[in-house]
Amino acid sequence: MPTNARPTEIAIVGAGPAGMAAAIRLAEAGLRPVVFDLNAIPGGQIYRQLASPQVDARIMGQEYLRGRELLAAFDRAAIDYRPDSRVWWTQREDDGYSLGVLQHGRTQHWQARRLILASGAMERGWPFPGWQLPGVMNAGAAQILLKQGALLPETPPVLAGSGPLLYLLAWQYLRAGRPPQLVLDMASPSSRYIEPLRRPRGAWLGRGYLAKGARMIAALRRAGVPVRRRVDGLQAEGGEAVERVRYRHRGRWHVQSTGLLLGHFGITPEPQLARSLQLAHAWHHSQQCFLPSRGPTLQADESLWIAGDGGGIGGALNAEREGRLAALAVLDTMAENATATPSEEAQALRRARRRDLAARPLLEAMFRLPDDWLSTQPDTTLVCRCESVSRGELESAIAQGGAGPNQLKAFTRCGMGPCQGRQCGESVNRLLAGRLGQSHDAVGYYHIRPPVHSVTLGELATAQQQ
């Protein structure tokens, strides 16, 4: 280990609900964890800007305000909180993990004995014709604009996709007096109505979510916002920017003029740090994505725990619980007389977590995306936005012998751009799995290389002079 590394007993990556909760719990036990976060203020995506809210709770909903206590406790606790810090490199060492951290234009080298990854989730990259056009944005991005500065689209948008966030944003726009012009619900219809009936226990546990969803849809309908269900085709069209949206509903294509299409196709764990450490991952059928493999204490490696949506999508409350669970697991490994049985606190958290997560399969079934989507898109549909690689180009490289995601990347540059495959990794896996007749796990994923966040040669070189 280089001598200029800064040592810490425990580092946490991410200051969303999971990272904040973990840090708070560790601080309660007398430790002073280092928390690195990409953003300038804590809260993650869900509680973004909550420290000085820009929008009234009547618009945002009560769930947004729920994070206030957590933010206050995080603010009070003795934590070495480092905002604006990009953990762009990490490596396993004999006694923990090395981290390359970029803060204020300089690279620092940290050495953490233990590491909690709480990097959260991201909206799924879901290719459809024209999704690279200006005027196509993620619904989550539009919500970030709302939280950050009370920004609303000047022209009523079309919302399309599947997932709770789609309806939440539509409802928030409605509450703010600027309802969307159209909502296109693209959940895969076969599972939509059948699944809840097959899972009475899940339906019972998820009744809160179901009721809330039904209230939101009813409010949209009352306001005259058309909600089209079982939409199974989507295209954005225009020259320099989106001018219209084409969608297929009940077997027929329809055209809607709009300058703004807000898409949302579910969320998946932000994979880069866990992948760059080559941690084991497995495809999760219900969540339709890869999840890092974690033990019962959320441990994913010798001295590493993954808490929150970065380990599997469970929502903000679950993330908070997982943060505390990970903190307790860390404390266990540090205790001199560690006991084999979990503490009452841990047991209570686990029970609550199990109860909460039991409702997820129902939600996941309701919002399931069509698995064969990509293979039904036109050849020219971009899969890799950074390098502008289309589905057709990928198909021809597969035909020429591109037999795995890394070889396909080498053959086509798909995934070689600055987003590091975040937007196309899952699509490439799906395409290969379909074409080669292999499981998602057998196909595997890109090798994720550093930097997992942007760093310039100058910023990298400056550390030499420190």
Partner 1 sequence: MFRRSERGCAAPRQVTVWLDGQPCQVPDTLSVAAAVLHLHGWQGYRRHHDGSTRAPLCMMGVCQECLISIDGRPNRQGCLEPVYEGMRIERQQGERHAD
Partner 2 sequence: MRQDFLIIGGGVVGMAVAYGLARAGQGVTVLDESDDALRASRGNAGLTWVQGKGIGMPRYAELSLDAVRGWSAFARELTERTGIDLQYEQRGGVDLCFDAEEAESRQREYDELQQASPRLAREFEWDYLSRDALLPYLPELGERIHGGTWSPHDGHCNPLYLLRALYAASRALGVEIHPSTPAQALSKADSGFCATTAKGTFTAERIVIAAGLGARTLAPTLGLSGAVAPLRGQILVTERLPALGWLPTPQLRQTASGGVLIGDTHERSGFDKGVTLAMMQAIAAKAVQICPALEATRLVRAWGALRVMTPDGNPLYEASASHPGAYNINCHSGITLASFHASALAEAILNDRLGQQYAAFSGERFHVSA
Looking at residues 424 to 463 of the shown chain, list those that interact with partner 1 (rule: CB under 8 A).
Answer: 453-454, 456
Could you tell me which stretch among 17-25, 257-265, 267-275, 415-423 binds partner 2 (CB under 8 A)?
A: 415-423
Q: How far apart are CB 134 and partner 2 at their closest, in Å?
A: 20
153 near partner 1, rule: CB under 8 A: yes
**What are the residues whose beta carbons fall under 8 Å from the beta carbon of 458, sequence distance 6 or more?**
none
Angle between helices 17-28 and 68-76 (to 10 degrees): 40
Q: Which residues, other chains included, contact 21 with Cβ-Cβ below 8 Å and sequence gap of 6+?
A: 70, 307, 319, 320, 321, 322, 323, 324, 327
Which of partner 1, partner 2, none does residue 460 bind (CB under 5 to 8 Å by kind)? partner 2
- Does 310 bind partner 2 (CB under 8 A)? Our answer is no
Is 352 near partner 1 (CB under 8 A)?
no
Question: Closest separation between CB of residue 396 and partner 2, Å?
Answer: 9
Q: Is residue 210 within the footprint of partner 2 (CB under 8 A)?
A: no
Of 463, 453, 434, 457, the C-alpha closest to 89 is 453
Tokens of 229: 């269900």
Q: What does residue 187 show for φ and ψ, rounded to 5 degrees?
A: -60, 145
Burial class (CB in 10 A: 0-12, 13-18, 19+), 284: middle
Q: What is the CA radius of gyration of the chain?
A: 22
- Please report how close the Cβ of residue 127 comes to partner 1 at its closest, in angstroms: 12
- Chain positions 275 to 334 lying near partner 1, rule: CB under 8 A, are none
357 binds partner 1 (CB under 8 A): no
Interface positions, 387-406, toward partner 1 (CB under 8 A) = 388
Number of residues that bind partner 2 (CB under 8 A): 37
- Pick the stretch among 61-69, 157-165, 188-196, 445-453 that binds partner 2 (CB under 8 A): 445-453
One-character DSSP codes across 328-341: HHHHHHH-TT--SS
Residue among 451, 333, 437 nearest 96 (CA):
333
Among 404, 414, 426, 440, binds partner 2 (CB under 8 A): 404
Residues 420-439 binding partner 2 (CB under 8 A) are 420
**Does 59 sit near partner 1 (CB under 8 A)?**
yes
Helix pair angle (405-412, 391-399), 10° resolution: 110
Tell me how many residues contact partner 1 (CB under 8 A).
53
- Looking at 85, 107, 287, 390, which residue binds partner 2 (CB under 8 A)? 107
**Cβ closest to partner 1, residue 377 vs residue 390:** 390
Give the separation between CA 67 and CA 61, rounded to whole angstroms: 12
Residue with tokens 């409350």: 317
The per-residue b/e assignment along 153-183, b for 16 or more CB within 10 angstroms, e otherwise, is beebbbbbbbbbbbbbbbbbbbbbeebbbbb
CA distances from 388 to 192, 420, 421, 446 (A): 33, 13, 12, 17
Query: Does 38 participate in binding partner 2 (rule CB under 8 A)?
Result: no
Find out whether the peptide bond into 451 is cis, omega within 30 degrees of 0.
Answer: yes
Using rule CB under 8 A, residue 3 touches partner 2: no
Q: Which stretch binds partner 1 (CB under 8 A): 6-14, 148-156, 200-208, 358-366?
A: 148-156
The three state secondary structure string of 253-320 is EEEEECCCEEEEECEEECCHHHHHCCCCEEEECCCCEEEECCCCCCEEECCEEECHHHHCCCHHHHHH
Binding partner of residue 413 among partner 1, partner 2, none, CB under 5 to 8 Å per kind?
Answer: partner 2
**Judged by CB under 8 A, which of 148, 375, 376, 454 binds partner 2?**
454
Find the shortest distance in angstroms from Cβ 435 to partner 1: 25
35 binds partner 2 (CB under 8 A): no
Tell me whether residue 137 or residue 366 sits nearer to partner 1 (CB atom).
137
400 binds, among partner 1, partner 2, none (CB under 5 to 8 A by kind): partner 2
Per the CB < 8 A criterion, the answer to whether 260 and 238 are in contact is no
Where do the DSSP E strands lie in 395-438?
A: none
| Partner touching 177 among partner 1, partner 2, none, CB below 5 to 8 Å by kind | partner 1
x/- letters, 42..81, toward partner 2 (CB under 8 A): ----------------------------------------
Residues lying near partner 1 in the complex (CB under 8 A) are found at: 38-40, 45, 49, 52-56, 58-59, 122-123, 125, 132-138, 140-141, 144-146, 148-155, 176-178, 240-241, 260, 270, 385-386, 388, 417-419, 422-423, 453-454, 456
Please report, as ranges, the residues that interact with partner 2 according to CB under 8 A: 2, 89, 91, 98, 100, 107, 109, 397, 400-407, 410-411, 413, 416-418, 420, 444, 447, 449-451, 454-458, 460-461, 463-464
